[in-house]
């Protein structure tokens, strides 16, 4: 049985003063939009909530997906007091005060749902303050974060909570939320008698970019600007001017998008590469960061299949530095297309990693005497440079029997060129050289 809980506020503002997004906040699980994976009838979390068997949890998801609303609903379903803190605004003393009040309430036989917004902003000491209270059961801890909990929350807190991932809300679900606000007479805009067509609702939903709060805010602004009760194209032009799409310059969304760009280039898909670089520019990504990552792709993924890719990377980077945006954006976007269509080889990257592994495994092995520098008479007397064969002086231009590895390590093969682009010619030449070296080793053993 669901019962009413405390809001944790000292006063309640009149309904008319609240923003539309606050007035339309979901009060029951059936009111949520876009979280069917977690909250559809029969799902594990919904069944637990309806049965009143709720665990402490971390809600991880983008802004406007319903994290705060879900925490409030939990308090209603489990007949608990609701208290909330913002990690941005609260200090440790305030945290301890709220926890002390929760302990007092617990001694009287009533639990507290404690909601911590932006929980990743609390430091380790502040996060640790919750642990004994979670273990004792005096609070049902609900932390909300837009950042990856694995990186931002300490392991002790994570071990005591379930992590639930909430998704950005899809356009159809956002349209549903907008329609509900237009039809709700008690909390919404039904009394205004607004007229808006399906295309305009879709446009608002797309502009909200997965954020229910943003969708309702845009609708509320449109309602205020509407002439004669109609939200038309001219109204939307005003509402949606200079809107910014969701882009977190330091969080998971950022790294997911750069990963998508990198993997689209590897997949030789120029269209996808253009899409992702356009997304990142649109979100305000630092162009120098994009230029650096594109240069890395030229080195790591194109490699010697097209050695000119690195030169082109630097040229595109310098072009951006000279022209700035928007002209320089095109230089980087064009280079992303070039990378996507270039032959691919990570052979030199893999070879370098293999060489690093040998260095770490075998330590500081001595340089072969023939390869050592001998600028002084003393060093020559010690055998430095003795037996060195200068390749241009050798018939054929290659001293294939010269040992270049430390004797303790022996000859190693790291670099395996692929049959792609220029590297296919490198592969052919290297096979000839390695065949000669193998023959030299065999003759030396007989």
What angle, rounded to 10 degrees, do the helices at 212-225 and 198-208 form? 130
Are 229 and 102 part of one and the same domain? no
Question: Is the same domain home to 159 and 185?
Answer: no
Does residue 298 sit within a domain? yes
| Rounded (5°) CA angle 76-77-78 | 95
- Same domain for 111 and 231, yes or no, is no
Cβ pair 418, 345 in contact under 8 A: yes
The helix or strand, by DSSP H or E, that contains position 86, with its residue range, turns out to be: strand 81-86
My answer on whether 374 and 439 are in the same domain is yes
For residue 125, give the 3-state DSSP assignment. helix
- Same structural domain, 157 and 284: no
Give the model's pLDDT for residue 255.
Answer: 82
Looking at the structure, do residues 157 and 178 belong to the same domain, yes or no? no
Secondary structure letter of residue 1 according to DSSP: -
Report the pLDDT value the prediction gives residue 12, as an integer from 0 to 100: 57
Classify residue 90: in a domain, yes or no. yes
The set of residues, in sequence order, having a beta carbon less than 8 Å from that of 95 and lying 6+ positions away, is: 85, 126, 129, 130
Residue 7: per-residue pLDDT = 39
Please name the residue that has the structure tokens 């240069």. Answer: 295
Q: Report if residue 409 sits inside a domain.
A: yes
- Among the candidates 165, 194, 219, a domain finishes at 165
Rounded CA separation 105/82 (Å): 11
Whether residues 95 and 161 share a domain: the answer is: yes
What pLDDT, on the 0 to 100 scale, is given for residue 393? 85
Q: What's the pLDDT at 285?
A: 85
* pLDDT digit string (tens) for the chain, length 446 residues: 444 444 344 445 666 688 999 999 998 999 999 999 999 999 999 999 999 888 999 999 989 999 999 999 999 999 899 999 999 888 888 899 999 999 999 999 999 999 999 999 998 888 999 999 999 999 999 999 988 898 889 999 999 999 999 999 999 999 999 999 999 999 999 998 899 999 999 999 998 988 999 999 999 999 998 888 899 888 998 888 766 565 555 566 778 899 999 999 999 999 999 999 998 988 888 899 999 999 999 999 999 999 999 999 999 999 999 999 889 999 999 999 999 999 999 999 999 999 999 999 998 899 998 889 888 888 888 889 888 888 888 888 888 888 889 989 888 999 999 898 999 999 999 998 888 888 766 544 43
Q: Residue 83 to residues 8, 95, 286, 338: CA-CA distances in angstroms? A: 5, 11, 39, 54
Biggest alpha carbon–alpha carbon distance for the chain: 101
Last residue of a domain, one of 150, 165, 180: 165
The per-residue pLDDT for 252 is 65
The total number of structural domains in the chain stands at 4
Q: For residue 36, is it within any domain?
A: yes
**Is residue 193 domain-shared with residue 112, that is, in the same domain?**
no
Q: Is residue 6 part of a domain?
A: no
Instruction: Give the C-alpha separation, 288 to 318, whole Å.
Output: 10
In 3D space, the residue among 224, 164, 237 whose CA is nearest the CA of residue 189 turns out to be 224
**CATH code, domain carrying 218:** 1.10.8.60
In this structure, are 107 and 27 located in the same domain?
yes
Residues 76 and 121 in one domain: yes
The CATH number of whichever domain residue 21 belongs to comes to 3.40.50.300
User: Does any domain span residue 75?
Assistant: yes
What is residue 13's predicted lDDT score, i.e. its pLDDT?
Answer: 60
We report the CATH number of the domain holding residue 401 as: 1.10.3710
For residue 245, the model assigns a pLDDT of 60
Say yes or no: 54 and 159 in one domain: yes
Q: Is residue 141 situated within a structural domain?
A: yes
User: Where in the sequence is the domain holding 122, given as residue range(s)?
Assistant: 15-165
The pLDDT score that the predictor gives to residue 152 is 85
Tell me, yes or no, whether 208 lies in a domain. Answer: yes
Residue 318 sits in the same domain as residue 378? no
Which of 216, 239, 262 terminates a domain? The answer is: 239
């Amino acid at each position: 049985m669901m019962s009413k809980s405390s809001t944790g506020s000292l006063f309640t503002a009149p309904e008319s003063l609240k923003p539309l997004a606050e007035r339309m906040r979901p009060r029951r699980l059936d009111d949520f939009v876009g979280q069917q994976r977690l909250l559809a009838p029969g799902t594990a979390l919904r069944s637990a909530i309806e049965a009143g068997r709720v665990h402490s949890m971390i809600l991880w998801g983008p802004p406007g997906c319903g994290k705060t609303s879900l925490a409030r609903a939990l308090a209603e379903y489990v007949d608990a007091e609701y208290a909330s803190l913002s990690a941005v605004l609260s200090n440790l003393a305030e945290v301890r005060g709220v926890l002390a009040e929760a302990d007092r309430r617990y001694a009287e036989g009533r639990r507290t749902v404690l909601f911590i917004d932006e929980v990743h902003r609390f430091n380790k000491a502040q996060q640790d303050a919750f642990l004994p209270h979670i273990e004792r059961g005096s609070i049902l801890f609900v932390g909300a974060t837009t950042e990856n909990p694995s990186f931002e929350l300490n392991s002790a807190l994570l071990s005591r909570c379930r992590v639930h991932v909430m998704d950005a809300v899809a356009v159809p679900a956002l349209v549903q939320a907008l329609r509900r606000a237009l039809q709700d007479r008690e909390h919404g805009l039904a009394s205004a008698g607004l007229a808006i067509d399906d295309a305009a609702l879709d446009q608002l939903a797309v502009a909200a970019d997965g954020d229910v709060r943003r969708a309702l805010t845009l609708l509320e602004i449109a309602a205020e600007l509407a002439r004669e009760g109609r939200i038309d194209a001219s109204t939307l032009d005003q509402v949606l001017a200079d809107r910014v799409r969701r882009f977190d310059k330091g969080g998971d969304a950022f790294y997911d998008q750069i990963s998508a760009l990198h993997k689209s280039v590897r997949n030789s898909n120029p269209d996808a590469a253009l899409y992702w670089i356009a997304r990142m520019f649109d979100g305000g990504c630092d162009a120098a960061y994009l230029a650096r990552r594109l240069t890395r792709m030229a080195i790591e993924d194109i490699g010697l299949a097209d050695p000119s890719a690195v030169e082109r990377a630097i040229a595109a980077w310098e072009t951006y530095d000279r022209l700035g945006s928007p002209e320089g954006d095109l230089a980087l976007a064009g280079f992303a297309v070039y990378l996507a269509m270039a032959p691919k080889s990570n052979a030199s990257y893999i070879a370098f990693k293999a060489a690093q592994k040998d260095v770490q495994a075998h330590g500081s092995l001595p340089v072969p005497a023939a390869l050592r520098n001998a600028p002084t008479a003393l060093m020559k007397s010690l055998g430095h440079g003795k037996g060195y064969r200068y390749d241009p002086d050798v018939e054929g231009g290659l001293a294939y029997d010269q040992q270049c590895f430390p004797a303790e390590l022996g000859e190693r093969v790291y670099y395996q060129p692929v049959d792609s682009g220029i590297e296919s010619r490198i592969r052919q030449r290297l096979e000839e050289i390695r065949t000669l070296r193998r023959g030299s080793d065999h003759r030396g053993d007989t």
